[in-house]
Amino acid sequence: MFRKRIAAAVFFAGLLAMGMAGCENKGDTASDPELLLGFSQIGTESAWRIGNTVDIEEQAANYGIGLMLENANQKQENQIDAIRRFIAYKVDVIAFSPIVEEGWDNVLKEAQDAGIPVVLVDRDISENEKDLTTCLIGADFYKEGVMAGEYLIRKADSLGLEQVNIVEITGTENSTPMMQRQAGFMDAIAGDERMTVLESIDGDFLKSRGAECMRYLLDTYGEDIDVVFSHNDEMTIGALPEIERAGFEPGKDIIIISIDGGQEAINVLKQGKINCVVECTPKLGKALMETALKLKAGQEVDAVIHPEEQVFSDEQDTSLIAPRGY
């Protein structure tokens, strides 16, 4: 315990110095946090991810919680290393957004042996490793996929379509959002005989890969494509210029369905080039801080916390959509 306080004091001295330099001091809590939270973030691959990081940093400051946030630059091994550093620092709580669902059991056993609770943020891990974590704070990705599929059925009805050919650009393979968004979407359209999935291809949640995937899909299927279902806005934004370069009007010749709900995608929705954006809020920081404080106080926490989420689409007056903040 004594070593922990020294480590924390050294760490907070740095924080305080940065705090004095970078933002106003919110009173006693900002300079004498009750709690040290270690957070391993996946990277900076999307506006969603950056918005998630900003929100966690802001909420840590609001709650007067000491935050050690490390960026893994899209590498699982960097997340595992960061968690080991948090254990060495004897933080009070560890949180992380697992880039994929498998491969965490060893480091999570080390955290358990050190008596440090682990909170999953945003993404989940495999069932056989979950008992090594305390809880999950993140979206219901399956429901997001269902909402995307249900929108497409309504859209096909409104257009009187008899055949709907779909291409899917998926997020990072073996990640929770990729697997569950795909499952929800496919389940939602399964009973509709008009729906045919021509191909699913991994875009890794990246804008550049979204463009590459779209180029390949257009070269392969051309005007047979009626719908693009993209697992995140970054890949969608990357795909749009490729659709236009091929001579098609996105949002009119090809129905575009995306997920995240960042400002850039909402702006394009308002222009009519995207038809539907399912919200996936990155604002998980408040729930994380409140959960960390409960864990520190030895209180019970909910096993799963899902934020409320909505669908933005051309079925509504998109001019009324408020600024998104990410």
Binding site for ligand GZL (CB under 6 A): 45-46, 48-49, 122-123, 139, 177, 205, 232, 234, 259-260, 280
Q: With respect to ligand GZL, which residue has the nearer C-beta, 61 or 120?
A: 120
For ligand GZL, the closer of residues 56 and 259 by Cβ is 259
Question: Least distance in Å: CB of 139 to ligand GZL?
Answer: 5
What does the angle CA 14 – CA 18 – CA 24 come to, to the nearest 5 degrees? Answer: 135
Minimum CB separation from ligand GZL for residue 17, in Å? 32
**Nearer to ligand GZL among residue 90 and residue 207 (C-beta):** 207
Scanning the structure block, which residue is given the tokens 């599929």? 149
At its nearest, how many Å lie between ligand GZL and the CB of residue 174? 13
Measuring CA to CA, which residue among 194, 193, 185, 262 is closest to residue 228?
A: 185
Q: Which is nearer to ligand GZL, 173 or 223 (CB)?
A: 173
DSSP alpha helices (H): ranges in 63-205?
A: 76-89, 105-113, 141-159, 176-189
User: Which of residues 155 and 181 has its CB atom nearest to ligand GZL in the complex?
Assistant: 181
Complex with ligand GZL: residue 165 or 176, whichever CB lies closer = 176
Least distance between ligand GZL and beta carbon 234 (Å): 6
Least Å distance, CB 249 to ligand GZL, is: 25
CA distance 290 to 152: 37
Backbone angles phi, psi at 228, to 5 degrees: -110, 120
Contact between residue 41 and residue 52 where contact means Cβ atoms under 8 Å apart: yes
Q: 45: part of which helix (H) or strand (E)?
A: none
CB of 70 to ligand GZL, least distance (A): 17
Distance CA 313, CA 4 (A): 50
Angle of helix 233-245 versus helix 207-221 axis, rounded to 10? 40
CB of 278 to ligand GZL, least distance (A): 10
DSSP string, 10-30: HHHHHHHHHHHHHS---SHHH
Strand order, beta sheet including 276-279 = 195-202, 164-170, 227-230, 255-260, 276-279, 311-313
Radius of gyration of the chain (CA): 21
CB closer to ligand GZL, 140 vs 253: 140
